[in-house]
Every structure is written in C-alpha cells, then in structure tokens.
Amino acid sequence: MFKSVLIANRGEIACRIARTAHRMGLRVIAVYSEADAGALHVRMADEAHPIGPAPATQSYLVADKIIAAARAVGAECIHPGYGFLSENAGFAEACAAAGIVFVGPPPAAIRAMGLKDRAKAAMEKTGVPVVPGYHGELQEPKFLKEKAYEIGYPVLIKAVAGGGGKGMRRVERHADFDAALEGAMREASSSFGDERVLIEKYVTAPRHIEMQVFADAHGNAIHLNERDCSLQRRHQKVIEEAPAPGMSAELRAVMGQAAVAAAKAVGYRGAGTVEFIADGASGLRPDGFWFMEMNTRLQVEHPVTEAITGLDLVEWQLRVAAGEPLPLRQEQVKIGGHAVEGRLYAEDPSRGFLPSTGKLIALQWPSAEGVRIDTGVEAGGEVTPFYDPMIAKVIAHAPTRVEALDRLAGALERSVVVGPRSNVGFLAALCRAPDFRDGHFDTGFIDRHLDSLAPKAEGLDRAAVAAAAAMLLQAEGDTIARRNGDGPQSPWDIADAFQFSGHRRMTVPLAADGEAVNAEVDYSGGLAVTVGGETPASDASVISAGDGYYVLRRGRQTRVTRRDLAVPATHSKSDGAVTAPMHGKVLAVFVDEGAHVVRGQRLAIIEAMKMEHTLTAPVDGVVETIAAAANEQVAEGATIVVIKPEV
C-alpha cells in the first residue's frame, strides 16, 4: 500500500478522499489555488502547496503544476477526485512518466470512454444496447440538423467530450435546432475544449440508471449495484438513490452484466460508472435500457452505493491502484436498505436557480442516525464564482426507501445555511413530493412539478422581516440594559417608545434584501411588531450576522438591517436596465449601441459556475448603453445593457 497521496482536487471530494487516506495511514498532500488558501481541504491535509491563481485553467487544470508539486514532496500516487483532470488521459500518462501512480483507469480506457461518440461505437461492437442517434465525425451544422430530422424530434444534442449536463440541449422542434446547437457547441468548447457534439433520440419517459463497476489489474471486474439519478434539472443530477425504485433482480443482473462487459471491453481498472437510459413509460424491463456513456472516475453520488454495500470506494480505488485484487467477488456484494443523496448547492430556486456567492455566515448540520454530510466548506468560508457551487452532499440511509426519504427531508430541514442562498428547501420539498415517493418519476419530473417545488419570488416575506425586527429590537434593548447595569435608568434611555401620553408606538426603518420597509412597533402591552400588517413568523429561524439578521423560512432567505435615513434608499433601475443576476463572466454581447431590440430578444450571455445564463431584453426599445464586454468579469447587479424603452 502507498504511504502518501496527493489529492489533485478541492472542496468536498478532496475532504472525502483525505478522510479515507488518513484512516489508511497515508500522508495526505493537498494543492490549492489562491482562492482556496484557507479552504477546509487545505487544513485537513498533512501538507498543502499552492498551484496558481483562482481560475481553474490556471491552477487545478494545469497538469504540470500538480505533477511538479507531487514530485517535490515525493507523493507516491495522485488521486484526481472527479471533475478537473480526473478523466484526462494525458494527465494519467504524465503521472506515469513522472513515476507517480494515477489513481484511476489506464489512459487507453479513459480515451475509449471519454468521447461519447467513440464509446457508443465501441459498445455497439460489444453488443451493449445503444440509444439510436448520430455519433459520427461530420460536424457541419446543416448536416447535423438533417440528422436530427431523420432521427425524429425530440432529440438531445450532447457534447462528445462532455459530462455533468454541460454542452447538452433538448430540442423539441426543427425550428429551434440552430440556436440549441450553437449554445451546446459553445458551452462544450468552454467546458471541455472540444465543441463536437452528437445527436441522439430523446426517450420520452427516461430513467437515468447507472451501474457502479470496479476492475483490478488481475482480470477481475464486478459491479456494485445500481443508482437511480433520474431527478435532474438542466441535465444535472439533483437527488440520487440506491437501489433504483422498481428494479428487479433480473434487470439488475442483465444491466450489471452489460456494465461489466463495457468495462472489460476497454481494459478498465479502478472505479467507473456505466450510465444507462431506461424507458420508464411502462416500468423497468430487461429489454428497455440503452448505454449512454461511461464516466471513468469516482462519481459525485458514490456515497449512496457505500451506504447500501457498507464499502469504502475510495479505499478500493487506492488498493486497486496499488496493485491489490478486488476485495470481493460478485456474489459477495450485498444490498442493505436504501440510501438517498441530495446535492446542496449555493443557488437561488426563487430566481431560476441562479448561482449565489458570498461568505457562509452560518453553517450547521444535523446529527442524526443514518445521516451523513460530505462537505468541503465551513462557516466563515466563501462560495466563490470560480468553482462548482456545491456546499455539501446530504446522504440518508434507512431500512426502506420511505424511511430514507423521511430522514433526508428531516436532515435538510434542520440544516442551516446562511449567506449565499441555497436549494435546501427545494431538496426537502422533492423528498416529500408524493409522486416521487410513490416511484412515479423520470428525468422530466422536476420540470413538470417546478411550480409546486421551488419557492416563488413573490415579493418580500414580511412575516420573516417582522421576525428579524422583533429580534433586532430585543437585542438593542438588551444592549441598553447591559450598558446601564444596575444603576437608575432614565426613561429616555429605555427603548420602548416611552412618552407621557398616548400609545407607546414607533416606526423603525429597515432594509430587507435592499428594499426599504418600515416595522411598526407597539409597546403598550409588551413588544409587538408588524411589517406591512404581518406579525413575526413562528416558523422562521433568525440568525444574527454583523450589522443585521438573516431569516430562514420555507426555503427562502431574507437579510434585514436597520436603514440609515441619512442614506438615500436604493431604487430599482429603470425597466430598460439589464443587470447581471450573479457574479460571472460575460461570454458574448449580441447587440450594439443604437440597435433596436424587442422584448425577449437575446442580448448577452453570462457564465457562472460552469453554466451559461442568457440575458434578454425586458422591453422594446433602442440600446442606449453597453456597459460590459465579452470576457469581462462582472459582479452581481452590475449593469450590462441599458435600453431606452419605446414610448
């Protein structure tokens, strides 16, 4: 077994690998960018080394820097985690050339499965069923559009080198194909340096089911059962579970055999995931699934497999990389209970799931039976726009699926995330959604039920603001009492709206999420607060932070501070102003000053946390100002385009 490992990654997966490596007695070496100098994975390591500026292209994606760090400290192996360089065959080869073991499959296997078109062709030769579509070399847009028409709509455009939903577009109509192809190719080029795509038929009631496979250098290959990853949004997984609801022993055996055959066909070694699309319209069946792709690395959702099998997949990776045989035979792999994982992201469901950045004011996790938290951040840390916005993975394990969903929902509802907005309430709502609990779902489930799952941006939550106002006034009163001590108090020092006659009432000016509001306070019968007629919400959690308070209620977060009347209240911009909805990078601006635009017309594209967001014209009018240029980094709220509305 190795004595040391360098983890070529960051965040929760780096922390996850470090925990197992420490348990196995390995010296753990971390690398970090300038943005991660104080990160949790750095402090967990035995030693850590800087590798460059915050952008991943200048740090975590620079193979030479990582290998140089490994050689400098004498690391015996490099674990790439997932993302970044984990599926980069050139990096695996560079590790070998430097005399360092790459904890992953051989470069040839990465290449064979790394490009979706080649992987599908290889699987067809192996006899593994493949989704109908086009995965050839010709990439001329007109030709691809013709192939889409031949396949029949709806179709999926998918990046050949892609993963994680990047470079993927679902197209319902022939007329929409050109714009979808343009966006998919641009996103694919940005994410993977390869703009090529394939076209495949979209299965109308798709279930996304994947098999965890493992192979060693001694010719052994097995599967560790399946995971269901059908709950997705924008083709990115949101909730994963194991085993898959509705999975029969017969289908598990057939799908498992296909997955193992796929791994053996490319000379695989280590941990991998073979992903299938299944037709769930009439229930899962052995003749209703097709190969989609193979991920040649550890998956984000691997904890649910660990929960039901009782195995440590990172330990297996390290042992296989060290030349040991697989610890178990196929018949020894068991399934115990049910496990569900929710991906907790820094994003705002009430604003179309826009990424949310900033300091984590408070972060508290529940301690409960069967609940596991995998995270790479702590309170006081920062969610930056440079990397994936995942805050944590919350995993629940129980004897049955219903119990596991209840445990996960309860854990999410007791989690406290303050600062950046998060999807914690949305995840809990998913766990409690009746159709999902009954097993009636596919990859389109979230889109179909979004109105009932995601909190709405329906204006200020005044009951939440009132709760913060009550705590603010109580805290100010306590401060005055402590200052005065036990001595005599002047009535003018008591914060209770004292006056010689009339009702003891006052108005307190507040700012709630930047909006000017007033709290009406009545001290006649004790402290009574209302905001816009709403009394303090009893189901709100109020957390003090610096000069104000954060209120968590029903999946929403509201920040409340005292408003200084000497400072003019902020006003919303004119209807023609288009601002950045989050921190990010301007990829393109499609209009010029003086151009006439119509409401809904595409103006610009901003990229944040690996996802593209299109900005459109809010009104008909003429472009008066363009305040940002392509490749420029912009802050949330920054003006991008100003349109002079038509009168």
CATH superfamily of 132-201: ATP-grasp fold, A domain (3.30.1490.20)
Pairing of strands 197-201, 155-159: antiparallel
Tell which CATH classification among 3.40.50.620, 3.40.50.2000, 3.40.50.20, 3.50.50.60 matches the domain 4-103: 3.40.50.20
Q: What is the CATH number of domain 205-334?
A: 3.30.470.20
Residue 108 CB partners (closer than 8 Å, separation 6+): 89, 266, 267
Q: Contact 157/179 with Cβ under 8 angstroms?
A: no
> How far is C-alpha 88 from the geometric centre of its chain's CA atoms?
22
pLDDT of 55-66, one tens digit each? 999 999 999 999
CA distance readout (Å), 167 to 174, 191, 339, 517, 603? 19, 8, 30, 43, 20
Helix (H, G, I), strand (E, B) or coil at 118: helix
Q: Is the pTM of this model over 0.75?
A: yes
pLDDT of 292-330, one tens digit each? 889 999 999 999 999 999 999 999 999 999 999 999 999
Domain ranges (residues) in the chain: 4-103, 132-201, 205-334, 337-458, 462-562, 577-645
Q: Contact 417/391 with Cβ under 8 angstroms?
A: yes
Residue with tokens 């907790």: 344
Class of domain 577-645: mainly beta
Q: So what's the pLDDT on residue 117? A: 76
Pairing of strands 362-364, 416-418: antiparallel
Look at the domain 337-458 and name its fold. D-amino Acid Aminotransferase; Chain A, domain 1 (3.30.470)
Share of the chain above pLDDT 70, in %: 93
Q: Does pLDDT of 352 surpass 90?
A: no
Residue 445 CB partners (closer than 8 Å, separation 6+): 230, 231, 435, 436
Q: Please tell me which residue in 10, 169, 196, 297 is annotated as part of the active site.
A: 297
Residue 569 confidence class, pLDDT cut points 50, 70, 90:
very low
3-state secondary structure labels for all residues of 606-619: EEECCEEEEEECCC
What whole-number distance in Å separates Cα of residue 37 and Cα of residue 49?
Answer: 9
Q: Take residue 64 and report the two structure tokens written for it.
A: 């030479």
pLDDT of 585-613, one tens digit each? 898 899 999 999 988 888 999 887 666 77
Is 432 an annotated catalytic residue? no
Helix (H, G, I), strand (E, B) or coil at 97: helix
The average confidence (pLDDT) of the chain is 90
Residue 571 confidence class, pLDDT cut points 50, 70, 90:
very low
CATH topology agreement for domains 205-334 and 337-458: yes
Class of domain 462-562: alpha beta
